[in-house]
A and B are shown apart, each in its own frame.
Chain A
């Protein structure tokens, strides 16, 4: 299942203005989306993932069309394989860490567990497999959420403020780890952040949303 370029065009009325954006991210490329809160950054991610629909627009990955309001195409999120890391991680509170990670996996339970724990080990928290989300620290939860998103082998990865929920001390180290992780990925990556420093560290390009339009990619 090959990937491709992530392309998105959307028109979405928000409270004070209308969002009109058009962006494209190549495989292996990392785009940072910046802007004030309420600017519509998260909405763009949700449209790309299929959790929300624009008034009109198109979303496609490579040759596969995920959304085309004109042609009446709207693939539900579970068919898009677009990974999304939520701002507060949105872990499944009633499941242990490894079960969270294994959610997207298929196969026998034993194999799932092995693969999930292996993934957690790559993030340095293999020993926390049986822990419940409520018992984990912010940094640990972030890593579980990342592992969970990656376990699904997504064809594009969207991260919503991946470091914002961490305390400053953890943020530095987590930022470096995330940078290394993303560098090795061969899929389009979009990172929403409010921090210019984060944007320049984690991304190849930055786009800013202002008054509903994208400006300054660089």
Chain B
């Protein structure tokens, strides 16, 4: 695409506007917080606790999403069967449900009076007001982001290399692991980055399902919100927000780079 054509110029302008729009609120937060205050925020125990909790719980949630979601997405992406469209819509539901409603839903399903409440309790697990509940809430709201990307990535795979692998003696699992996964890597990494970002920012479902208990369920977003109720809290909230944004950005970038995003796929471009 030639940038000097009218269409090229308009596209570049649209891109500049979009970038400015998305970046400005983030920059504004950093502009409002002095570097000294930022470092001080990291020094506060509640802030560190909240950040560490966020990192731990989102990491575990991502592990669950990857392990369970990848094979599921492979099936959904490559096989046509009756009810496939409905199934895909079903797993996309968390995307359109307000987080607070998702929290209520999780309570209604896994809470003590919930449909599976008895089973959860019987297994010796406590979810509500426990860290495990945070992981459940995070998995619920962020999984669809990964699944959608993964389904698309797997669906776009050329079946012929997979078939070639089979004729060369690979069973379905080996063909999946050695041919499908490496080829779909970029799409999967993008999906993971999206899901992780969503999980890091998750607030409403966590608050309702797991509560806001410092050190146990008060993740960084919940801690930021709680700061507003404390004296001098607004500044502290800003500082923690800036830290969270930095951490999230680093994590997302690392995920994408590791997944090879940006290195492949631009062959047709100039």
Contact = CB atoms under 8 A, between A and B. Distances in A.
- Do A and B touch (CB < 8 Å)? yes
A93 B179 CA distance: 9
A115 B182 CA distance: 24
Contact of B167 (A49, A88, A93, A134): A49
Interface string A12-50: 000000000000000000000000000000000000011
Interface of A: 49-51, 76-78, 80-84, 86, 88, 90-95, 103-104, 134, 148-149, 152
Nearest to A145: B164
B79 interface: no
A91 to B, nearest CB: 7
Contacts of B168: 78, 103-104, 148-149, 152
Contact of A103 (B170, B171, B183, B267): B170
A113 to B, nearest CB: 16
A51 B183 contact: no
B45 interface: no
A142 B171 CA distance: 24
Contacts of A49: 163, 167
Contacts of A50: 166-167
A59 to B, nearest CB: 14
B161 interface: yes
* Interface-central residue, B158, B167, B170, B183, by most chain A CB under 10 Å: B167
Given A90-B158, A92-B179, A93-B183, A81 B163 contact: no
A152 B168 CA distance: 6
B261 interface: no
Contacts of B179: 92
A91 B165 CA distance: 9
